[in-house]
Amino acid sequence: MPIIRNLLAIAVATTLLAGCTGGAGDDSTGPADFAGDITGEITVLTNRTDLATTTLPEYARKFTAEHPGTKVSFEPVTDYEGDVTTQLSSGDYGDVLLVPNTVPVDQLAQFFEPLGSVEELRPKYRFIDEKAYGGQVYGLSIGGVAQGMVVNKRVWAQAGVTAPPKTPEEFLTGLRAIKSKTGAVPYYTNYKDGWPLSFFNSQRAIVNDPQINEKFPADPSPWQPGKIQYTTDGLLFDIVHQGLSEKDPLTTNWEGSKPMIATGKVATMVLGSWAVPQLRDAAKAAGANPDDIAFWPFPVQTGGRFHSRIEGDYKAGVSKNSKNKATAKAWLDFFVNESGFAQDQQAIPPATGQPLPPALQAFQDTGVDLMEIPAATTNAGREDQIIKESEIDLAGNIYRQKLVDIARGAAKGDKESYFADLNGRWGKAQAAVMK
């Protein structure tokens, strides 16, 4: 499962951090002092509970071979966002850790050491702007992800489709062919878990506009035909309305969906590229062919090309309270540049110049342009304000679950009436925020 940005949880945690920073360091933003001998023990917090006693110690052994006299211990955290946010407030949060998304950018300096300036690090690493403030970088990505959809290409080939559909209409035609020619569920919503529905909100790159995040809050009606929300949410509505998804969305299960798509019982899910290695592992476990799992672009082209947003997954930083910052910084540099973690996880390497892993190289070979889309600057924070005022969880799942319910006939309305309602609520909030 990837990072889940739950706005309510972030709001609560932000309040917590604002009121309980007694254990944090000061908020100075000058260059950090990582001088000293690379020796002694450090503790690394990780959300990868599945790797904490297997793969991660292998990386640690390579590190200690390069730096004799060091020891790296891992502290796996199941509820990473919640538990580590609490640890930040207490001041005891290890030496190297993934930066929780609950930490507002203007509070990064209270908890993490600056790793260098944006200007200095931009030529060396991707995604550095995502955990930067005041011109200083506080976290380096441990691997990047692309946005699109995971498919079982064997099932799609059985339906006569061997290349990614270029339009929503072609995509729906392909799903109908899967339904009629194979025994697979064409599309799986993961409605019950909810969070997978949010990936329909991760497709803004399809319009091929690097300023889309800046422009989006200025639009009072994004669910109008031809606009991004109409295109993405409209496709989800059409999939369900045409009977191309699972029969009972109330019984879906994320963990159960992995072997289903891995073995060809399900054909398609809109997700990030992070899901590819998980689904290939599920195929191996089920005795299926892991190469059946592929990553395709979202079925929209602009200017004759597919476009996919790439962004960093979790960013790792050095604790402001670490007693061994030289070794902590050395581990962070090693992990990002030398460990091979990103390649092993089929992620985009954070260090520029390193090749894409095979799964993402195949994705790029479909003819997709990979785009980093910067956050809004002039309109920074305004989209979140509109979301709060309108009570439309744009990056969440509640309003999309209602969309699915309307599409399958379990709630009143139709696509046009629901989108009109969304535009009305959004437009009212947008006018208040942007005045």
Domain ranges of the chain: 7-143+313-345, 145-311+365-435
What does the block give as tokens for 62?
């390579």
What is the Cα–Cα distance from 122 to 129, expressed in whole angstroms? 8
Q: 7-143+313-345 and 145-311+365-435: same fold? A: yes
Report strand pairing: 132-133 vs 136-137: antiparallel
Superfamily per CATH, domain 7-143+313-345: Periplasmic binding protein-like II (3.40.190.10)
Closest CA to 404 of 264, 197, 134, 223: 197
Q: Are 346 and 357 in contact (CB under 8 A)?
A: yes
Angle between helices 228-241 and 415-434 (to 10 degrees): 150
DSSP 170-212: HHHHHHHHHHHHSSSBSB---TTT-GGGGGGGS-GGGG--TTH
Please calculate the CA angle 169-170-173 and round it to the nearest 5 degrees. Answer: 85
In CATH terms, 145-311+365-435 corresponds, of 2.60.40.10, 3.30.360.10, 3.40.190.10, 3.40.30.10, to 3.40.190.10
Task: Report the pLDDT value the prediction gives residue 10, as an integer from 0 to 100.
Answer: 41
428 CA to centre of own chain: 29
Task: Report the pLDDT value the prediction gives residue 22, as an integer from 0 to 100.
Answer: 43
Angle between helices 382-390 and 415-434 (to 10 degrees): 120
Q: Order across the sheet with 70-76: list the strands.
A: 70-76, 40-46, 96-98, 315-318, 140-141
Task: Report the pLDDT value the prediction gives residue 9, as an integer from 0 to 100.
Answer: 40
What is the Cα–Cα distance from 332 to 334, expressed in whole angstroms? 5
End-to-end CA distance of the chain: 38
pLDDT in tens, the chain (435 residues): 443 334 334 443 444 455 444 445 555 555 567 999 999 999 999 999 989 999 999 999 999 999 999 999 999 998 898 899 999 999 999 999 999 988 988 899 999 999 999 999 999 999 998 899 889 999 999 999 999 999 999 999 999 999 999 999 999 999 999 999 999 999 999 999 998 999 999 999 999 999 999 999 999 999 999 999 999 999 999 999 999 999 999 999 999 999 999 999 999 999 999 999 999 999 999 999 999 999 999 999 999 999 999 999 899 999 999 999 999 999 999 999 999 999 998 899 999 989 999 989 999 999 999 999 988 888 988 998 999 999 999 988 999 999 999 999 999 999 999 999 999 999 999 999 998
Q: Are 87 and 24 in contact (CB under 8 A)?
A: no
Rg (the chain; Cα; Å): 22
Helix, strand, or coil here: 294?
A: strand
